[in-house]
Homo-oligomer: A and B are copies of this chain.
Amino acid sequence: MTAPSGSLRGASPRGRVWAHVGQPFTETAYDVVVVGAGRMGAFAARELRRLAPALRLLLVEEGGLPNEEGATLLAPGVWTARDAPPGREAEAAWTRAQLAATLGDVQFRAAPLAELGAGADPHPDARPTGEALADWPEALALLDPVDLPWARVDAGAATFRPGAVALNAAQEAVRLGADLLLNTRACPGEGGRMTLERLSVTNTHEVVVHERRAVQAAQVLLAAGAAGPALAEHALGVHTAHGRAYRQAPRLERPSGADSPTLRAGGLTLRPQAGGWTLVPAIWHRDPQGYVPAGGLLTGVLTGLRRETLEDLVALMDAVPALAGGGLGLGRSLSDVPGAWLALPGGRPDAPPLWQRLDDTHTLLLGGPLADVLGLSVAHDLAATLAGTEGRPWAPAD
């Protein structure tokens, strides 16, 4: 820990980090408090430190860095121009450049993405699957090219580790002067009067509130992922219509190589990772309020995958025979399969990240399903707005 920082404009020393309750926290006021150190919150904090170094900034995270239960750690980490909504290609390209070069080692790797499909009227860019994947027999071996005869390859796609993005962005924010308070639950209140609950874990693995601290924030960014809208509603009484969905990412233990492409078929993404494949199922719609994720039964057999994901995988077993071949990590209960709640902006599975003013003090920042492609640019846009910065780096100057 360092001594308390001053707030000299443009010359901020390194910020302080409180990792556990043994370190006394006595601060009482900040210009900006960012709630949540996933990639959205951490990157917004980093950009705020760069654009508005005069603002005293606190980044609060309920877990560690990154939160093991958050959506960031489970995000696919697949950048492809295909996922950029029309008109936002420049923002997506800027996000790619940030991932490639400015955030330290995030295991960024240029890796083609092949979208596989059937149908009599393929996209003009599509090529026969066997030809398009000829360089990657390990990828071709997963598929049935008769069921998926066409492949459309995005040669400019890339993979990266979203968890490393959050970690590196938070660490850089601290280097640039942000304070970081870990293992702390933030309870926003009206007018920026916030209660911070510092958490510790008992011998019996129970999470308890060790102490409560009051902090006054001029501006609060709620970047708590899928929990953000509920926080806005319960703490501030602001109703939003955002949704969430529980997504699981099972493993497929079939060999992948260091240069294997990412594959997509029927909404399912197969991302080469750690010598095998991580499956990222499509999100078709939000989950209703009150839904508790549970392992699904399939013709009487209990698994660790939710039923809807099981059905998607069963539907793809003809086209992707590897799914039926025994290497699929179905698990036996929910805890066997990595999963996380993902925010769905506007309740829609295809909506881009967004920020939204909730009141004079609070702003909600949501990543969601397209955060791999547009998350950093939207977080930057919010930081630049708060900093009063004109122009955006992806927009052509007048």
Contacts and interface: CB of A to CB of B under 8 A. Distances in A.
Contact of A300 (B234, B288, B314): B234
Interface in A291-315: 291-294, 296-300, 306-308, 311, 314-315
Given A233-B299, A239-B314, A299-B233, A307 B291 contact: no
**Copies of this chain held together in the complex:** 2
A314 B240 CA distance: 10
A289 interface: yes
A288 B306 contact: yes
Contact of A288 (B241, B288, B299, B314): B288
A290 interface: yes
Interface residues of A, number: 29
A293 B288 CA distance: 9
Interface string A270-301: 00000000000000111111111110111110
A234 B292 CA distance: 22
Nearest to A237: B299
A291 B233 CA distance: 22
Contacts of A287: 288, 291
A298 B241 contact: no
A315 B241 contact: yes
A398 B299 CA distance: 44
Contacts of A308: 286, 288-289
Interface in A340-389: 347
B289 A306 contact: yes
Contacts of A298: 239
A51 B284 CA distance: 42
Contacts of A285: 284-286
Contacts of A294: 289-290
A290 B293 contact: yes
A290 B292 contact: yes
A37 to B, nearest CB: 27
A307 B286 CA distance: 12
Given A233-B300, A237-B299, A289 B314 contact: no
Contacts of A314: 239, 241
Given A237-B300, A300-B234, A291 B293 contact: no
A237 B300 CA distance: 7
Contacts of A306: 288-290
Contacts of A288: 287-288, 291, 306-308
Contacts of A300: 233-234, 237
Contact of A296 (B241, B289, B293, B307): B289
A224 B239 CA distance: 38
B299 A239 contact: yes
Given A234-B300, A239-B298, A307 B292 contact: no
Contacts of A293: 290
Contact of A290 (B233, B234, B307, B311): B307
A315 to B, nearest CB: 7
A227 to B, nearest CB: 14
Interface string A310-333: 010011000000000000000000
20 contacts: A233-B300, A234-B300, A237-B299, A239-B314, A241-B314, A241-B315, A285-B286, A286-B308, A288-B288, A288-B306, A289-B296, A289-B307, A289-B308, A290-B291, A290-B292, A290-B293, A290-B294, A290-B307, A291-B291, A311-B347
